[in-house]
Amino acid sequence: MKLQPDRIEGVNAVSGLIPGAVSINGIVHRQSIVVPWQGEVVPWRVERFEDLTAEHFSAIAALSPELVIFGSGDRIRFPSPALLRPLIDQRIGIETMDTAAACRTYNVLVSEGRRAVVGLLLGG
């Protein structure tokens, strides 16, 4: 599914999504990633929702975003508050949704100039 018809100048945007892969600025990624509003797309070393740890969210918090969108895979699954503690402690808002919805929401936020980060779980 194509998500972003045109490149949003100066920010990272999700340009497409298919099962098991996402395209950021036209570059296909087949592993879980963290996409900041600007800068480099970062590999997120987690394959399954069950493998998430607080350290995964700590890496996102280190980017100092205004808010975080978490794409939990094909279906919505909510991480425990203990996993989200690094974001909560820094008062960074987080929204959880399935990966497709997370991609769409992230694009809207960055197109509005928000300092958003999306963590996309692409594995099982």
Q: What is the pLDDT of residues 69-111, one digit of tens each?
A: 999 999 999 999 999 999 999 999 999 999 999 999 999 999 9
Instruction: Determine the pLDDT at residue 49.
Output: 96
pLDDT 10s digits, 44-59: 999 999 999 999 999 9
Residue 93 pairs with which residues in a beta bridge?
Answer: 67
What is the pLDDT, as a whole number, of residue 11? Answer: 94
Distance (Å, whole) CA 105 – CA 11: 14
For 14-45, what is each residue's pLDDT tens digit? Answer: 999 999 999 999 999 999 999 999 999 999 99
Question: Does pTM surpass 0.85?
Answer: yes
102 DSSP 8-state letter: H
Strands 14-18 and 93-97: unpaired
- Joined together, the tokens standing for residue 114 give 């928000």
Structural domains for the chain: 31-120 (3.40.1230.10)
